[in-house]
Amino acid sequence: MPTNRELFQTLLDYLQQKTAQTYLGGGPKKLDDQRKKGKLTARERIAYLIDKDSQFLEIGLFAGDEMYPDEGGCPSGGVVVGIGYVSGRQCVIVANDATVKAGAWFPITAKKNLRAQEIALENRLPIIYLVDSAGVFLPMQAEIFADKEHFGRIFRNNAHLSAEGIVQIAAIMGSCVAGGAYLPIMSDEAMIVEGTGSVFLAGSFLVKSSIGEDIDNETLGGATTHSEISGVTDNKFPNDPACLDAIRDAMSKLGHEPTAGFDRIVPQSPTKSPDEIYDLLPTDRLKPYDMRELIGRWVDGSDFQEYKPLYGQSLLCGTARIEGWAVGIVANQRKMVKAKKGGGATAEMQMGGVIYSDSADKAARFIMNCNQRRIPLLFLQDVSGFMVGSRSEQGGIIKDGAKMVSAMANSVVPKFTVLVGNSYGAGNYAMCGKAYDPRLIFALPTAQMAVMSGSSAAKTLLQIQVASLKAKGQTITPEAEQAQLSEITDRYNAQLSPYFAAARLWTDGIIDPLALRQTIAMGIEAANHAPITRRYNVGVIQT
């Protein structure tokens, strides 16, 4: 039997393999074609732009994964997005990958660009666009063009970011066509690369077909035209490196603004070995484990100051530091604990990631305290949902659950979420799922996300199908019933995968457990750029 560490390593190997494959974008040939044109690839541009030996936190690496097989795929959504450092300044970077369908915009591309702008807006970070795109992917225009969260929302966000005083710098390093032409020109500064950069509302072929004018793309909308005649761009540069150097210079001169004032001291490494997480976190999602032991390997000095440790034990709440930043942690507990019963007796009970009334009450009060003290919140999810049954209903589980959701949803301090294990049903919501605006949300390779577990969902769906057949006077053999159960289970389990969630940007990505500290630290540093201006008020909730 393989050990848990060996099973975990299999998950990490798969993550590494998918990462390496996704980094290839449209494939080795397309990457070589880009370089033959005198252009850097999207990832090479980012590597050149960011500070040497600095971290780049990629957002949406697996966006679009296996979503568009009929169109040949769309690795990483055809755009590379992340948080990095340029001239010592933290910023958001968006780089079109022209090796993927010439950088054309798929529906997931628009969603990913909007996510990048959301991060910039929430955290008041400068945003840099490295533009190289053929515009909307026309075969899917109905899914990207006209709705509120489609392509046009990006230009609306351009306007809002500028109105908020958040710096936007754009470099036109390839094609920039039609509606996509507005993105760089609605930025605060627009640069263009000679010979490869072009920007126009209609290319030469469309101009010829619509008004009969014969003209080449360079004359129509190249660097000379827009830097010397139209004044559309601010400056032109001979090649990609020169243009990226100019961005670095512009970033080095940005003024400084007030911060949120989150507390940070000199970071400490955990005293407990983080590497032991591979032994402690079961790859089997049904096995219990002690979340405290994981927290002790993620926080500075392994020092976790618990809030009400003997009350509501299915949720752990407490304060700690991560890379020096003060943080409040709300985490699901899955181990066996001793719990009070009537008459003062105690009994062992399996927490199983279930949220009970007392746990929800504790978490609500802790979240309020963190808002009062301006401490960012980190939610560590391994949740099966809220406790059900007559005893829980009579005990007011809905009321206590609503109180926790209200306290979390109205939080004014930034929230961060990591899916450690299960993320099911209303538990996903209460533990700050994507719908509740975490500044960043990442998953470990052990994560699963759905309304309920695969086995429970499959049995429920099968019961519905069998009941439907019986209502029509039909019967189903035990063999056919088992075959249907297997088919439903396989289909549902595929949707539980963290890669299924990451492909649709329900999470920002999948990380090795050992990357959690740096990921959350970068997120809090980003959030510290945005002062808190809203008063904390949880609204009307029953107590």
What is the value of pTM for the model shown?
0.92
Q: Is the pLDDT of residue 128 over 80?
A: yes
Highest mean pLDDT among 133-142, 225-234, 295-304: 295-304
Instruction: Specify the range with the lowest mean pLDDT, choosing from 129-138, 289-298, 464-473.
Output: 464-473
What integer pLDDT is reported at residue 540 of this predicted model? Answer: 58
What integer pLDDT is reported at residue 348 of this predicted model? Answer: 52
What integer pLDDT is reported at residue 218 of this predicted model? Answer: 84
Report the mean per-residue pLDDT for the chain: 91
As beta bridge partners, residue 328 has 319, 377
Digit-coded pLDDT (tens) for 487-524 = 777 777 788 899 999 999 999 999 999 999 999 999 99
Higher pLDDT, 149 or 40: 40
Digit-coded pLDDT (tens) for 215-261 = 878 888 888 899 999 999 999 999 999 999 999 999 999 999 999 99
Instruction: Specify the range with the lowest mean pLDDT, choosing from 231-245, 323-337, 358-372, 484-498.
Output: 484-498
How far apart are the C-alpha atoms of 225 and 292, rounded to whole Å?
A: 62
Digit-coded pLDDT (tens) for 269-298 = 999 999 999 999 999 988 999 999 999 999
CA 234 to chain centre: 33
What integer pLDDT is reported at residue 361 of this predicted model? Answer: 95
Residue 420 near residue 529 (C-beta atoms within 8 A): no
**Mean local confidence (pLDDT), 168-172:** 97
Burial class (CB in 10 A: 0-12, 13-18, 19+), 32: exposed
CA 86 to chain centre: 21
Q: What is the DSSP string of 381-435?
A: EEE-EE--SHHHHHTTHHHHHHHHHHHHHT--S-EEEEEEEEEEHHHHHHTT-GG
Give residues with Cβ within 8 angstroms of 71, minimum separation 6: 101, 106, 137, 139, 140
CA 328 to chain centre: 20
Higher pLDDT, 264 or 461: 264
What integer pLDDT is reported at residue 522 of this predicted model? Answer: 98
Instruction: Specify the range with the lowest mean pLDDT, choosing from 407-421, 429-443, 458-472.
Output: 458-472
Q: Is the pLDDT of residue 349 over 70?
A: no
Instruction: Specify the range with the lowest mean pLDDT, choosing from 51-60, 353-362, 385-394, 437-446.
Output: 385-394
Higher pLDDT, 303 or 459: 303
How far apart are the C-alpha atoms of 180 and 178, rounded to whole Å?
A: 5
Residue 18 near residue 62 (C-beta atoms within 8 A): yes
**Percentage of the chain surpassing pLDDT 70?**
94
What integer pLDDT is reported at residue 76 of this predicted model? Answer: 97
**Mean local confidence (pLDDT), 49-53:** 97
What integer pLDDT is reported at residue 41 of this predicted model? Answer: 97
What integer pLDDT is reported at residue 452 of this predicted model? Answer: 67
What integer pLDDT is reported at residue 175 of this predicted model? Answer: 87
What integer pLDDT is reported at residue 119 of this predicted model? Answer: 98
Instruction: Specify the range with the lowest mean pLDDT, choosing from 123-127, 374-378, 401-405, 485-489.
Output: 485-489
What integer pLDDT is reported at residue 455 of this predicted model? Answer: 67
Q: Is the pLDDT of residue 335 over 90?
A: no
Nearest to 102 by CA among 134, 139, 72: 134
Q: Is the pLDDT of residue 340 over 60?
A: no
What integer pLDDT is reported at residue 543 of this predicted model? Answer: 53
Give residues with Cβ within 8 angstroms of 437, minimum separation 6: 122, 415
Cα–Cα–Cα angle for 317, 319, 320, nearest 5°?
130
Cα–Cα–Cα angle for 385, 67, 384, nearest 5°?
5
